[in-house]
Amino acid sequence: MRNRFKWKVSSALSAVLLILPVSYVANADTVQVRNVPKTHYLEAKSENVRWGNIGKGDPVLTVNSGDIVTVEAVTHHSGDDYERMIKGDAGAEDIFHWSETEKHEAERGPGVHIMTGPIAVEGAEPGDVLEVKILDMKLRPSGNGEYAGKTYGSNVAANWGLLYGEMEETPNTREVVTIYEMETKGGNDYAKALYSYRWTPQTDPSGTVHPTIDYPGVIVDHSTVEENHDVLKGIHVPVRLHFGTMSVAPKEADVVDSVPPSYYGGNIDDWRVTEGATMYYPVSVPGALLSVGDPHAGQGDSELNGTAIETSVTGDIQLILHKKAELVNKLKALNFPLLENENEWVVHGFSYANHLAELGKDAQTEIFKQSSLDKAMKDAANKTKSFLMRGMDLTEDEAYSLMSVSTDFGITQVVDGNWGIHGIINKKIFGEKEQKRALLRNSFEQFGADIGWDPATKMITIQYNDNTLLAKIGATTATFNEETIKLTAPIQLNDQKLAEVSEYFVTFYRAKLSKTE
Amino acid sequence: MRNRFKWKVSSALSAVLLILPVSYVANADTVQVRNVPKTHYLEAKSENVRWGNIGKGDPVLTVNSGDIVTVEAVTHHSGDDYERMIKGDAGAEDIFHWSETEKHEAERGPGVHIMTGPIAVEGAEPGDVLEVKILDMKLRPSGNGEYAGKTYGSNVAANWGLLYGEMEETPNTREVVTIYEMETKGGNDYAKALYSYRWTPQTDPSGTVHPTIDYPGVIVDHSTVEENHDVLKGIHVPVRLHFGTMSVAPKEADVVDSVPPSYYGGNIDDWRVTEGATMYYPVSVPGALLSVGDPHAGQGDSELNGTAIETSVTGDIQLILHKKAELVNKLKALNFPLLENENEWVVHGFSYANHLAELGKDAQTEIFKQSSLDKAMKDAANKTKSFLMRGMDLTEDEAYSLMSVSTDFGITQVVDGNWGIHGIINKKIFGEKEQKRALLRNSFEQFGADIGWDPATKMITIQYNDNTLLAKIGATTATFNEETIKLTAPIQLNDQKLAEVSEYFVTFYRAKLSKTE
């Protein structure tokens, strides 16, 4: 299927069409992207990653606004099952390489995650907003021939989990690792537990003993643990692929712990940061400096035991720069990581909105003593109210009433120091204002795509570059280059029997179709 | 449509069929209901309600297990717009009647809600569990001819709201009432704001001035307030009808404030307590003594400003008693209000699991000083873990891992003293074990219903008593006695092309079809 349809527009015309704006903030002014968007590939290997640090640093890649980056992100929990998650995977082997005499890791930050990046965005300056569209996420298959094509993750009931030391059974301070395998069959993906084991003291190559899980990178010696294969039998955990940690660099410190999330994003651990979603981050250093990591295959709101299903993922992300002077109301003075998807705006609040600025010189350690959902609730409530006022043109009284009768607040996480609460604003409430409709054919033809329509199968074909999206009217899934994907929303027929989608759909799939090899 | 189909089984046979068990806990042992279930009607009138008290008291109605009660519940915020919510409504007029010389209200409890009940259940004893199925909820139309057929509610940004005193604009301690009107057009119901006003000191018939909103029952004198009709224009809040407060009586006190929720239920303020849901309450006094009130037309998780869209509702509920000796694992030693619906189990945690027992003799006032989401999170986490262990036969390590990777924790409310956090367990995770499938025809015929099937329209007819459910294969809505309803789940065809539904569906619609006039 991939190569059956060929790009039919002459290359001259195509060049013209490609300089049309390729991205919007939904319902907002367009942002001119001057260059033809490029697709970059950013491998996970030791020189492209930093451990536990999302601060300023030399970019491993510099892109223009509108560019797409295929970014590999490897989980810091890979060492929980070396055989399945490291062995035979050149990138993971390189990143985790640590012998008595050699350690590929350059410098450990105060945090834990393996962060790919930073990626600099040409022209980004403090006060701008960086938009990151998550166009695609794919689990990274095992590099070990024995497990070819299979995908794995690790969940750890860790010493930083909420109920550590308060379990019913003894020892109530046990740490338990559960290895999951993901079954991915297009649209109905799930994870099943393979086995679990209780952490035992592990000795790293420098001879340091780790009685608890305190240093990712340590490879668990499976001869020292007892595997229990009778675990969670018959249970299928829905796969929710997402990046636990995606972050621009904050201005307040040079080396920044990747664990506590904050105004700059970081380890938000919201499972909604997934394919089809768009993140907006306030830029506070030149180049923005985006780091991507901590991929998860499944997590509940709260990430209760300290971790999700920690796995490795390769994602396609599009980076779009919004200059300070041209920000739409929703993004003006943005001081938190904002999420948008087809149906929602999601506001992220924390115990401290900006712990680095609020907690003094020891902020990065102090924050772990100041975790509080009560504070996070106030922060999320105030941010949501402000967003409704400035972004949706409501008075304070209108915003406050509307929040109480319609905004759902959930617990993002209680395990990352700066605890999180998010407010979910349903776009539907605002009608066409927040979910503008567009004719599918016009929107994609304007962009330069070829549209096909088969009345017999009711199948629509959208071709652009070397990519093909095949979707049926009303269907929730579609085919993208032979792969089944979940659509952000079904294509619908309007009263005139013309295919119609949301503006968000248009923007998102224009971007997804723009990827080149 | 209502009378077109007639009950075709002879009355003798019908009597036999009716003594078949009518209710189950999904996936659990059946409970024998010995008597033919009766339908009772419980009017909202002053002698059937108590204000602000959900404690022990003389029942206004006694029912047998399996009986259905049509219960009228009137909002304590009706006085915010007397013209629309009280005038011409005999029940509301009776309840709110208060002149210089006469007050119909018998005795005010420490709380605020108008609670219909208590309803006693024959044979209920401490240690039993009371199941309450919410079969139907309907908005109560205005009794005022000028507003015939219309339905209204009031949202109040109150002095107990989370951001009271912390608003951006002055006076930051203002209280604002927003009156909403509900548009109910089958399946796509929404509420729109009509107008708002700032609370001004109101003088009640005894001459007491209420500078703040501190005593429901006071009728707002609209000549003293300024109505702002330019409010939330074009905004449609999805209607989520639910009972904010439904409660059995606790054993710890005689008069019990209806505001803080606790192990006995009470003012949980979870919008999931809606049509199609089932609640389970631990019984701690003889007769269980169920009170029902505080109906809401819309609320977000957290009920941020202090209230929902407070409205009046008439509901059909079925009460089923589960005796202590026969409790299934999920209900054994139940010590919190548990919710079940087609797709979820919802565990309710609070700052204090049982504030009456934990906070000493002044517990009912002390709880308002001890509100904390951090405590509620621990409580919700521990209850969820315990429920997964005892109810789903998981080990503690399995339960803890599963929660972290799949259970979503949300903020139920932050305005009721005993703050709430709920954990949502997705039944799908457990497959057939938690979502048992049943053949529709067998299940309803066994029960004594008549099943019709029109291959042309793919419409299924289920008739029982004088009730008819008409549903299409795959549809999310159906017709019940000419009224459009949302189905708990669509009817599906199995591999043998036979109509199949979940066991929960069977139990729920058997009960709904059992109602008699």
Per-residue pLDDT of A81-115, as tens digits, reads 999 999 999 999 999 999 999 999 988 999 999 99
Chain A residue numbers touching B308 (CB-CB < 8 A): 404-405
Q: Per-residue pLDDT averaged across B433-450, rounded?
A: 96
Question: Whole-number mean pLDDT of chain A?
Answer: 93
Q: Is B341 helix (H, G, I), strand (E, B) or coil?
A: coil
In angstroms, rounded to a whole number, what is the distance separating the alpha carbons of residues B62 and A426?
A: 42
* Residue ranges with strand state E in A100-226: 114-121, 129-139, 151-157, 176-183, 190-198, 202-203, 209-210
- For residue A35, the model assigns a pLDDT of 57
Mean pLDDT of A376-401: 98
Helix (H) or strand (E) holding B51: strand B49-51
pLDDT value of position B457: 87
Nearest CB among A298, A396, A405 relative to B300 is that of A405
Average pLDDT for A481-493: 95
Share of chain B above pLDDT 70, in %: 93
Q: What is the mean pLDDT of residues A263-280?
A: 98
Model pLDDT for residues A137-193, shown as the tens digit of each residue: 999 999 999 999 999 999 999 999 999 999 999 999 999 999 999 998 755 799 999
Out of A166, A169, A421, the one facing B411 most closely (by C-beta) is A421
**Residue B515 Cα, gap to closest chain A Cα (Å):** 32
**pLDDT at residue B409, as a whole number:** 98
Examine the pLDDT at A462 and tell me if it is beyond 60: yes
In this prediction, residues A222-242 reach a mean pLDDT of 97
Out of A234, A402, A428, the one facing B431 most closely (by C-beta) is A234
Mapped onto helix, strand or coil, the DSSP state of residue B394 is coil
Asked if A401's CB is within 8 angstroms of B238's CB, the reply is no
Which pLDDT value is given to residue B59? 98
Q: Give the per-residue pLDDT at A187.
A: 57
Chain B partners within 8 Å of A406 (Cβ): 237-238, 298-300
Residues A330-334 have a mean pLDDT of 96
**Percentage of the residues of chain A whose pLDDT score is greater than 70:** 93
Closest CA to B290 of B259, B317, B253: B317
- For chain B, the average pLDDT equals 93
B356: helix, strand or coil: helix
Mean pLDDT of A250-255: 98
Of the CA atoms within 13 Å of residue A384, those in its CB half-sphere come to 37
pLDDT of B23 reads 40
Dihedral angle computed from the Cα positions of residues B340, B344, B350 and B353, in that order, rounded to the nearest 10 degrees: 50
Check residue B188 and give its pLDDT: 72
Q: Average of pLDDT values for B190-204?
A: 98
Q: Is the pLDDT of residue A267 over 80?
A: yes
Q: In this predicted model, which residue has the larger pLDDT, B194 or A8?
A: B194
Contact B372 A377 (CB under 8 A): no
Condensed to tens digits (0 to 9), the pLDDT of residues B35-49 reads: 589 999 999 999 999
| Neighbour count for residue A41 (Cβ, 10 Å) | 13
According to DSSP, the β-strands at A309-311 and A151-157 are antiparallel
State which amino acid sits at residue B117: G
Cis peptide before B216 (omega within 30 of 0): no
Q: Which residues contact B23 (CB under 8 A, 6 or more apart)?
A: B30, B31, B33, B66, B131, B133, B318, B320, B507, B510, B511
Number of alpha carbons in the 13 Å side-chain half-sphere of residue A132: 35
- Nearest CB partner across the interface for B404, out of A231, A300, A433: A300
Q: What is the phi/psi pair of residue B267, to 5°?
A: -80, 60
pLDDT band (50, 70, 90) for residue A455: confident
Q: With bands split at pLDDT 50, 70 and 90, how would you rate the model's confidence at A74?
A: very high
Bigger pLDDT: A4 or B383?
B383
Residue of A323, A329, A346 lying closest to A277 (CA atoms): A346
Q: How far apart are the first and last CA of chain B?
A: 16
Give the model's pLDDT for residue A186. 55
Q: Are A447 and A438 in contact (CB under 8 A)?
A: no
Confidence check: pLDDT of B438 > 90: yes
In sequence order, which residues have a C-beta less than 8 Å from that of residue A489 and are 6 or more positions away? Answer: A342, A343, A501, A502, A504, A505
Find which of A169, A405, A418, A430 to mutate to test the B interface (most B CBs within 10 Å of its CB): A405
Facing B163 at nearest CB: one of A232, A302, A381: A381
- pLDDT at residue B7, as a whole number: 31
Nearest to B300 by CA among B185, B403, B413, B409: B413
Closest-approach residue (CA) in chain A for B398? A232
Q: How far is B446 from chain A (nearest CA, A)?
A: 31
Contact A404 B155 (CB under 8 A): yes
Alpha carbon dihedral A208, A210, A211, A217, in 10-degree steps, equals -160
Percent of chain B at pLDDT > 90 equals 91
- Contact present, A255 and A110 (Cβ < 8 Å): yes
Are B410 and A407 an interchain contact pair (Cβ–Cβ within 8 Å)? no
**CB-CB under 8 Å, B382 with A308:** no
Identify the burial level of A100 via C-beta atoms within 10 angstroms of its C-beta, where 0-12 means exposed, 13-18 middle and 19 or more buried: exposed
Helix (H) or strand (E) holding B195: strand B190-198
Q: How confident is the model at residue B186 (pLDDT cuts 50, 70, 90)?
A: low
Interface contact flag, A178 B401, Cβ < 8 Å: yes
Indicate whether A512 pLDDT > 70. Answer: yes
Is the pLDDT reported for residue A450 higher than 60?
A: yes
pLDDT, position B388: 98
What residues of A are in contact with residue B234 (Cβ under 8 Å)? Answer: 430-431, 433
Give the integer Cα–Cα distance in Å for B276 and A439.
Answer: 37
| Owner of token pair 């605002």 | A430
Token representation of residue B242: 């639910």
- What one-character-per-residue DSSP string does A404-432 give? HHHPEEEEEESSSSS-EEEEEEEGGGGGG
In this prediction, residues A33-47 reach a mean pLDDT of 86
- Tell me the pTM: 0.94
> Is pLDDT at B189 greater than 80 in this prediction?
yes
Q: Is the pLDDT of residue B327 over 70?
A: yes
Please indicate whether, in this complex, the C-beta atoms of A401 and B372 are within 8 angstroms of each other.
no
B389 CB neighbours in chain A (<8 A) are 168
Q: Reply yes or no on whether the pLDDT at B13 is more than 90.
A: no
Could B411 and A428 be called an inter-chain contact, meaning their C-beta atoms sit closer than 8 Å? no
For the stretch B120-166, pLDDT in tens is: 999 999 999 999 999 999 999 999 999 999 999 999 999 999 999 99
Residue B130, judged by CB atoms within 10 A of its CB (0-12, 13-18, 19+), counts as buried
